[in-house]
Amino acid sequence: MKKKLAWKNPFFIIPFCILLSISLLLMIHAGYISDIYANSFEKQLLWFIIGLVVLFVMKFFPINWLFKNSIFLYIFNLLLLILVLFIGEEINGARAWIDLHYFNIQPSEFMKISYSLYLAHLCSRKRFFSFWDEAKFLMYVLLIFLLPTILVFLEPDTGAILFYFFITLVLLWNSHLHKRWFIILGSLVILGIGGFFYLYFLEKDLLISLIGTSFFYRVERLFTLGSGMQIENALIAIGSAPFFKFSLAKTGIYIPEAPTDFAFSLTSNVLGIFGNILILLSFLCLDFYFINYEKKIKKKEYKLFLYSFLTIFILSQIINISMNIGIFPIIGIPLPFISYGGSSTIVLFIYLAIIFQSSKAK
């Protein structure tokens, strides 16, 4: 019997189409909010079309080649991260985009793909015969983690660093590594966080002298929850929205950066609370779909790649929605398939293309 194509499964395609449709409605509405987003609908539609083309083209691509040559993809992305520091376009205080005239690309987003491929390839094939084998492997993983992390930190892009860290943690946990290393890592993290909080609350002058004024104020913003016009207006938009609504005109509460970081709140202006519930249900359906998708994948490195996608996909939902309701700092995490953005959208489609192809590999 012919196997049903993964991306044609109704448990995927229905919630997926709902999210894309809501996103396009938000982009139409965004055009009424500000001239900055005048072409946001056309551009977002273009990203979705490109993404769908990627899904189709990848059906004919040998994805095993991507894993075998992932080191070169990783190095190429490192070069892009270096390049963006010199020629990158600065937006909202971050030099994170390379201007290609017709559109911008964000190398830190594409690094998620190459880093996931390379780390999945490493973790699936490495076998350990002693404590020192594990230690040397961890030192190498630390190196390939720190290289993009430092470069992205200089942009700065806090959100991407968070994803690199959790991808590393999840893939190492599912590797052949002994679990004692996680006790050691957890202890070091707790000590580091404890030391930081001590300096932050009791020795601020010393902390500023160690990390510099610029970085200190970036960190300090992370401790500011529920304040500022963005979050206050986002909370008002959600709290004052009716249950059912449909309005593409310039109505509701004005929210700065609404189509990107605050797309969830913007949905309240366009579709009311019903729209927010529809988003949550669609994500819940997709989360369970991809969690169960592991059963269709045989090869270890493909499974690890799926775990990296799930890490990004679920974490993005949690952080972005938490940002919108004021319980998490604003760190520029987009809502998957909803928020405006070319690089983040294309990267998600590439993840999907590789995952769907991985279920066909033996």
Q: How many domains, the chain?
A: 2
* 307, 288 contact by CB (below 8 A): no
- Are 287 and 205 within one domain? no
Within a domain: residue 1? no
What pTM, to 2 d.p., does this model score? Answer: 0.90
- More confident position, 217 or 168: 168
Predicted confidence at residue 157, as pLDDT, reads 80
Are both 154 and 247 inside the same structural domain? Answer: yes
Tell me how long the chain is.
362
Range of the domain at 197: 179-223
Mean pLDDT confidence for 74-78: 96
State which of 164, 196, 223 marks the end of a domain.
Answer: 223
Q: Judge whether 307 lies within some domain.
A: yes
Do the beta carbons of residue 230 and residue 262 sit within 8 Å?
yes
Which one of 157, 188, 223 terminates a domain? 223
| Mean per-residue pLDDT, 146-173 | 90
Do 66 and 214 lie in one domain? The reply is no
Q: Is the pLDDT of residue 181 over 90?
A: no
Is residue 192 domain-resident? Answer: yes
* Rama region for 297: left / alpha / beta (φ>0; ψ in -120 to 50; rest): beta
As a 3-state breakdown, the chain gives helix, strand, coil percent values, each rounded to 5, of 70, 5, 25
Q: Which of 139-143, 186-190, 230-234 has the highest mean pLDDT?
A: 139-143
Higher pLDDT, 301 or 217: 301
Q: What is the pLDDT of residue 215?
A: 67
Domain annotation covers residue 351 = yes
End-to-end CA distance of the chain: 17
109 and 242 co-located in one domain: yes
Same domain, 214 and 238: no
119 assigned to some structural domain: yes
Residue 257 φ/ψ region, left for φ over 0, alpha for ψ in the -120 to 50 degree band, beta for the rest = left
Is 263:340 a contact under the CB 8 Å cutoff? yes
pLDDT of residue 87: 84
Name the residue type at position 38.
Answer: A
One domain for residues 195 and 302: no
Q: Is the pLDDT of residue 159 over 80?
A: yes
Query: Is residue 329 domain-resident?
Result: yes
Same domain for 211 and 300, yes or no, is no
Query: Same domain, yes or no, for 286 and 205?
Result: no
Q: What is the pLDDT of residues 228-253, one digit of tens each?
A: 677 888 888 888 888 888 887 766 67
Same domain, 157 and 57: yes
Residue tagged 């090869």 (tokens): 299
* Average pLDDT rounded to a whole number, residues 83-108: 80
Q: Please, which pLDDT band fits residue 52 given cuts at 50, 70 and 90? A: very high
Same domain assignment for residues 183 and 255: no
In a domain, 2, yes or no: no
- Tell me how far apart the 2 most distant CA atoms of the chain are, in Å: 69
User: Do 39 and 188 belong to one domain?
Assistant: no
pLDDT averaged over every residue in the chain: 86
pLDDT at residue 218 tops 70: no
Q: Evaluate whether residue 141 is within a structural domain.
A: yes
Condensed to tens digits (0 to 9), the pLDDT of residues 299-346 reads 999 999 999 999 999 999 999 999 898 888 888 889 999 999 889 999
Residue at a domain's end among 223, 240, 257: 223
- Comparing CA positions, the residue from 324, 316, 301 lying closest to residue 347 is 316
- Whether residue 101 sits in one domain with residue 204: no
Does the pLDDT at position 7 exceed 80? no
Answer yes or no: are the C-beta atoms of 78 and 154 closer than 8 Å: no
